[in-house]
Amino acid sequence: MTGTSLRTPTPKDFELFGALSMTRVVDRHHACAITGRADVSISTSNAWLLKLVAAGLLKRFFIATESGGVKALYSLTQRSAALAGVPFRPVLRKTDSVLISDQFVQHQLAINDLFIQVKYRALPLEDAEAIRWIRFTGPISNRIPLIPDGYFELRVGTDVHSMFCEVDRGTEAQKAWTKKACFYLELALSGEFEHLFRGKRFRVLVVALSERRLAQIRKTVCQETQKLFWFTTLNAINRDGMFAAHWVRPVGDNKLSLL
């Protein structure tokens, strides 16, 4: 083994490994946000990640970007998962391969944008605290065959706000959104949510890639319910933050903040 392969992980490395057990895959921006390196230069960040790859602590592959370039992506290795004491769920992509298009990876990166906003960005209220983020690997319960993209809880004072996340990349038919709306309604009205999460109420945050797609989903959901659901675009979240006033309800055009 070379000296590089014997590299001892730092506390920030372990932060990244722990987050990767949840996010599965990250790009450089995600890795820097997770470890508090947002102000570090691109060259320094790339050198740090490359050392982890050379040490066998990260797996690297690439994906094509909309601008015609490629960007590096990183996932856990069996070694880094073992060192961090987290589950190892490998991303089955060939090392250093270049992906032209990959629905799973692109969807996961979009979900990660929300995860980082919740866990690693400053919250808008001083007494607000992110309690937990849950990643679902199967249906939410035997009773309701729903697999949300994520779930998180915020504590504000003595109140706990529960929120499910659904990231839409335009690949699902509108009938799938009809089913989702019905499942979330059942979750709310059946008592199953209270049984599973010990909470009384929840929101469903729907994030689309375009305003046009968002309008289509709102129309579909509105036919089932005018409650529970909040809508925005991924661009608005990445531009203004998760909790800014860019959210809309199934009916109406008022821009609302989550808190």
Of 82, 101, 120, the last residue of a domain is: 101
117 shares its domain with 227: yes
Given a contact cutoff of 8 angstroms between Cβ atoms, the answer to whether 20 and 9 are in contact is no
122 shares its domain with 213: yes
146 shares its domain with 213: yes
CATH number at residue 222: 3.40.1350
Range of the domain at 34: 4-101
> Who's near 213: CB < 8 A, 6+ residues apart?
168, 170
Is 113 inside any structural domain?
A: yes
Three-state DSSP class for residue 190: coil
Helix and strand element counts for the chain (H, E): 9, 8
Query: pLDDT digits over 3-28, tens only?
Result: 445 578 999 999 999 999 999 999 99
9 shares its domain with 85: yes
Q: What is the mean pLDDT of residues 110-117?
A: 96
136 shares its domain with 78: no
Q: Which parts of the chain fold into alpha helices (H)?
A: 11-23, 28-35, 42-54, 78-84, 103-120, 174-189, 192-197, 211-222, 234-240
Of 101, 136, 156, the last residue of a domain is: 101
85 shares its domain with 135: no
Query: pLDDT digits over 198-231, tens only?
Result: 999 999 999 999 999 999 999 999 999 999 999 9
Query: pLDDT digits over 225-254, tens only?
Result: 999 999 999 999 999 999 999 999 999 999
Is 249 inside any structural domain?
A: no
pLDDT of residue 54 exceeding 90: yes
Is 247 inside any structural domain?
A: no
User: What separation in angstroms does the CA of 111 have from each of 94, 132, 170, 225?
Assistant: 22, 15, 14, 24
Given a contact cutoff of 8 angstroms between Cβ atoms, the answer to whether 97 and 64 are in contact is no
Is 236 inside any structural domain?
A: yes
pTM, entire model: 0.93
Given a contact cutoff of 8 angstroms between Cβ atoms, the answer to whether 147 and 140 are in contact is yes
228 shares its domain with 110: yes
Taking the CB of residue 107, how many other CB atoms lie within 10 A of it?
15
Of 52, 81, 101, the last residue of a domain is: 101
89 shares its domain with 114: no
Partners of residue 163 on adjacent β-strands: 152, 203
Residue 9: what are its φ and ψ, rounded to 5°? Answer: -65, 145
Instruction: Quote the pLDDT of residue 6.
Output: 57
Query: pLDDT digits over 127-143, tens only?
Result: 999 999 999 999 999 99
138 shares its domain with 178: yes
Given a contact cutoff of 8 angstroms between Cβ atoms, the answer to whether 6 and 55 are in contact is yes
Q: Which of 104, 89, 202 is nearest to 144 (CA)?
A: 202
Domains: count for the chain: 2
> Who's near 7: CB < 8 A, 6+ residues apart?
51, 52, 54, 55, 57
84 shares its domain with 127: no
CATH number at residue 46: 1.10.10.10
d(CA 115, CA 9): 23
Is 253 inside any structural domain?
A: no
Is 132 inside any structural domain?
A: yes
63 shares its domain with 113: no
97 shares its domain with 110: no
Given a contact cutoff of 8 angstroms between Cβ atoms, the answer to whether 232 and 247 are in contact is yes
Q: Provide the residue type at 38 as one letter.
A: A
Is 235 inside any structural domain?
A: yes
